[in-house]
């Protein structure tokens, strides 16, 4: 008996449509009905549009037939991007039948290793919820480029250390004169737009 398109199913994990740390989990057998709005991800709120949000859902692909025919060369991919230009999607496997959202989040956040220190020094404290970063540097130093990834660290080396990985989405520069020990010193101020809102205060 041939395997047809209607035999290919997406199935829910134990805990779906939640972004709690224990979201995901084992295979549930509950089918995700094709074509239903918000049957996998919750709707996007005005707060989400203002501050940004990452939603992670664990699903399972399956073949539902009455026999044991093998599905050869199976693959899963995103065939069409979201119509909303402010929404992006990524699909990946953790190679686990039981892991939860926290594991998937770690996999996303650990996609690159820390490199050299960012050129310049952050100006003042950058507060929770901000989506920009201002950095002072010498005029001859080069600012980071759009698309570069950075990591900000709060309370480094302390029990409450927090790391946040971000991507630079916008770059603008200006010249500023700062008073250092009574002397005027010319600096370049780089303002970086960030892919996500800051999840804590970062002291400059």
For residue 30, the surrounding DSSP H or E stretch is: strand 24-31
Query: Cα–Cα distance between 74 and 152 in angstroms, integer?
Result: 39
Q: Which whole number is the average pLDDT over 40-67?
A: 85
Concatenate the DSSP letters of all residues of 125-191 into one string.
Answer: PBPTT--EEEEEE-TTSPPPPTT-EEEEEESTTSTT-EEEEEEEEEEEEEEEEEEETTEEEEEEEEE
Q: Is the pLDDT of residue 110 over 80?
A: no
Q: How far is CA 4 from the centre of its chain?
A: 35
pTM of the model: 0.52
Query: Cα–Cα distance between 73 and 67 in angstroms, integer?
Result: 18
Q: How far is CA 89 from the centre of its chain?
A: 10
Summary mean pLDDT of the chain: 86
**What's the pLDDT score for residue 3?**
82
Q: Is the pLDDT of residue 111 over 80?
A: no
**What's the pLDDT score for residue 74?**
80
Provide the pLDDT confidence category of residue 168 given band limits of 50, 70 and 90: very high
Query: How many other C-beta atoms can be found within 10 angstroms of the C-beta atom of residue 151?
Result: 14
Lowest mean pLDDT among 16-30, 117-131, 152-166: 16-30
**What's the pLDDT score for residue 37?**
83
For the record, the structure tokens of 153 come out as: 């660290």
For residue 192, the surrounding DSSP H or E stretch is: strand 183-194
Question: What ranges do the domains of the chain cover?
Answer: 5-109, 121-194
For the record, the structure tokens of 24 come out as: 């995901």
**What's the pLDDT score for residue 95?**
84
Q: Which whole number is the average pLDDT over 113-125?
A: 82
Q: Is the pLDDT of residue 115 over 80?
A: no
């Amino acid at each position: 008996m041939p395997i047809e398109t209607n035999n290919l199913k997406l199935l829910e994990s134990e805990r779906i449509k939640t972004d709690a740390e224990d979201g995901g989990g084992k295979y549930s057998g509950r089918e995700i009905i094709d074509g239903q709005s918000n049957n996998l991800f919750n709707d996007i709120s005005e707060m989400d549009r203002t501050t940004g949000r990452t939603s992670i859902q664990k699903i399972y692909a399956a073949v539902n037939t009455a026999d044991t025919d093998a599905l050869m060369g199976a693959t899963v991919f995103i065939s069409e991007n979201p119509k909303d230009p402010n929404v992006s999607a990524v699909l990946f496997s953790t190679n686990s039948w039981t892991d939860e959202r926290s594991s998937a989040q770690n996999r996303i956040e650990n996609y690159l290793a820390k490199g050299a220190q960012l050129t310049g020094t952050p100006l003042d404290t950058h507060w929770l919820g901000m989506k920009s970063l201002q950095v002072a540097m010498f005029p001859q130093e080069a600012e980071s480029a759009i698309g570069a990834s950075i990591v900000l660290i709060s309370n480094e080396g302390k029990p409450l250390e927090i790391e946040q990985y971000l991507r630079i989405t916008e770059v603008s520069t200006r010249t500023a004169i700062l008073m250092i020990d009574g002397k005027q010193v010319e600096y370049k101020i780089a303002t970086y737009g960030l892919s996500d809102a800051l999840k804590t205060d970062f002291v400059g």
